[in-house]
C-alpha cells in the first residue's frame, strides 16, 4: 500500500494544505497498518472492517492510549474514505469504525484553605509583594488564563464596577468579575508599587517587571511557583491550577455551569463539564470519609 499512502500524503499536502506534522502523523499510522498487513500476509484490497478493528485492538495491546487510538481511527477513516472516493476500493471499510473517547484527566485544584495560606503568605510590604499578591489574587478571582493576565492593560479595567475586559482564545472578548480582595490588591499595587516599576519603555500593561516591561508568561509561572514554595505548599502550583480552582470552587458554591462557562470563556459547555466530575469526586471522598457505611 506504499503507492496509496504516498498519494494520500500528496493530496493532504497539496489539495488540503495540511501541516507537515499532520502529514507525518498520518504517515506513521499508515506505516503501522502496512507492517501489520505484511505480518498477516494480507493486502490492502482484502481489508474489511473486521481487519481494521483487529488492527486497532493490536495497537491498544501495544500500549496506545485512548487519545492515540482516536487519532489512529481518524487517520484510517481519512485514508479509506479517500481510497473509496478515488475508486481504488469498492467500499469504505473504515466507515463503521467508532473512534474511542479519550480518557479525560480531571484537573488538579487547590483547596480553598490552601489558597488562603498562599495568598496570606505574601507580605505586601516586601519588595514586589504588592505586585505578586495582585497577580495571584487576580488569577483566582477571575479564572484568567496565563496569556490573558499577561496581556491585561490598564484601560481594560473598570475599578469602580470591578470588571476586567479581556481577549481570550479565538480573539474573543469577555468581561470578568474582579472580586473585592483582588480589586483591593490591584488598587494597592497600582498606587503604591507599579509607579516605581515604570520606565521610558513601559506600556499600559498592568503587571510590570523590574525593568518596566510587561511580565512574560515564563516569569509569571516562576512567580507563582516561588510564592507557593515560600508558602510551604507541597503541591505543584502553576497559573492554570488557579484557574481550575476558581471554576471548581464556584461549582462547589452552587454556581450554574453556564455561568462558569461564560466566566472561563469556554466556547463549548462540554469543556466546562469536566468540573462537574471534579465536584462528584469530592462528594464521593467526603461520603467515604464521613458516612458510617461509606
pLDDT at 279: 58
Is 75 among the catalytic positions? no
What is the C-alpha separation between 279 and 289, in angstroms, rounded?
Answer: 15
Q: Which three cell numbers stand for residue 65?
A: 492510549
- pLDDT tens, position by position, for the chain (294 residues)? 789 999 999 999 998 888 888 899 999 999 999 999 999 998 888 899 999 999 999 998 998 888 888 899 999 999 999 999 999 988 999 999 887 776 566 678 899 999 999 999 999 999 999 999 999 999 999 999 999 999 999 999 998 889 999 888 777 889 999 989 999 999 999 999 999 999 998 999 999 999 999 999 999 999 999 999 999 999 999 999 999 999 989 888 888 889 889 889 888 887 787 777 665 665 566 556 655 665
Q: Which one from 145, 183, 194, 227 is the annotated catalytic residue?
A: 145
The catalytically annotated residue of 165, 181, 225, 240 is 240
The CATH architecture assigned to 2-85 reads Orthogonal Bundle (1.10)
C-beta of residue 212 within 8 angstroms of C-beta of residue 197: yes
The 3-state secondary structure of 206-264, one letter per residue: CCECCCCCECCHHHHHHHHHHHHHHCCCCCCCCHHHHHHHHHHHHHHCCCCHHHHHHHH
CATH architecture for residues 112-290: Orthogonal Bundle (1.10)
Domain with CATH 1.10.150.130 in the chain: 2-85
Among candidate residues 169, 211, 287, 288, the one labeled active-site is 169
The reply to whether 266 belongs to the active site is yes
CB atoms within 10 A of CB 109: 22
240 is catalytic: yes
Distance (Å, whole) CA 260 – CA 246 = 9
Q: Which part of the chain is CATH 1.10.443.10?
A: 112-290
Residue 221 a catalytic site member: no
Sheet with strand 173-177: strands edge to edge? 157-158, 163-167, 173-177
For residue 288, indicate whether it is catalytic: no
Active site residue 275: yes
pLDDT of residue 276: 75
Q: Which of 59, 75, 227, 275 is catalytic?
A: 275
194, 243, 244, 249: the active-site residue: 243
pTM score of the predicted model:
0.63
Amino acid at each position: 500500500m506504499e503507492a496509496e499512502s504516498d498519494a494520500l500524503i500528496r493530496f493532504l499536502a497539496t489539495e488540503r494544505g495540511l501541516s507537515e506534522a499532520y502529514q507525518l502523523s498520518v504517515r506513521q499510522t499508515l506505516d503501522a497498518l502496512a507492517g501489520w498487513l505484511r505480518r498477516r500476509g494480507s493486502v490492502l484490497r482484502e481489508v474489511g472492517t473486521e481487519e481494521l478493528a483487529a488492527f486497532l485492538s493490536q495497537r491498544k495491546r501495544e500500549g496506545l492510549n485512548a487519545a492515540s487510538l482516536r487519532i489512529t481511527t481518524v487517520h484510517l477513516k481519512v485514508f479509506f474514505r479517500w481510497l473509496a472516493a478515488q475508486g481504488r476500493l469498492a467500499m469504505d471499510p473504515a466507515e463503521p469504525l467508532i473512534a474511542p473517547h479519550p480518557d479525560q484527566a480531571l484537573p488538579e485544584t487547590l483547596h480553598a484553605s490552601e489558597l488562603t495560606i498562599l495568598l496570606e503568605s505574601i507580605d505586601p510590604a516586601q519588595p514586589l509583594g504588592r505586585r505578586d499578591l495582585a497577580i495571584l489574587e487576580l488569577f483566582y478571582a477571575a479564572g484568567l488564563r496565563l496569556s490573558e493576565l499577561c496581556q491585561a492593560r490598564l484601560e481594560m479595567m473598570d475599578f469602580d464596577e470591578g470588571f476586567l475586559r479581556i481577549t481570550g482564545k479565538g480573539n474573543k472578548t469577555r468581561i470578568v468579575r474582579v472580586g473585592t480582595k483582588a480589586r483591593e490588591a490591584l488598587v494597592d499595587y497600582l498606587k503604591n508599587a507599579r509607579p516605581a516599576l515604570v520606565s521610558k519603555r513601559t506600556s499600559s500593561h498592568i503587571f510590570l517587571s523590574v525593568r518596566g516591561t510587561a511580565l512574560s508568561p515564563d516569569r509569571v509561572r516562576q512567580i507563582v511557583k516561588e510564592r507557593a514554595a515560600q508558602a510551604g505548599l507541597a503541591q505543584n502550583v502553576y497559573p492554570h491550577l488557579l484557574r481550575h480552582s476558581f471554576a471548581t470552587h464556584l461549582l462547589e458554591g452552587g454556581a450554574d455551569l453556564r455561568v462558569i462557562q461564560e466566566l472561563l470563556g469556554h466556547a463549548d459547555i462540554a469543556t466546562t463539564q469536566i468540573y462537574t466530575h471534579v465536584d462528584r469526586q469530592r462528594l464521593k471522598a467526603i461520603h467515604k470519609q464521613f458516612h458510617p457505611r461509606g
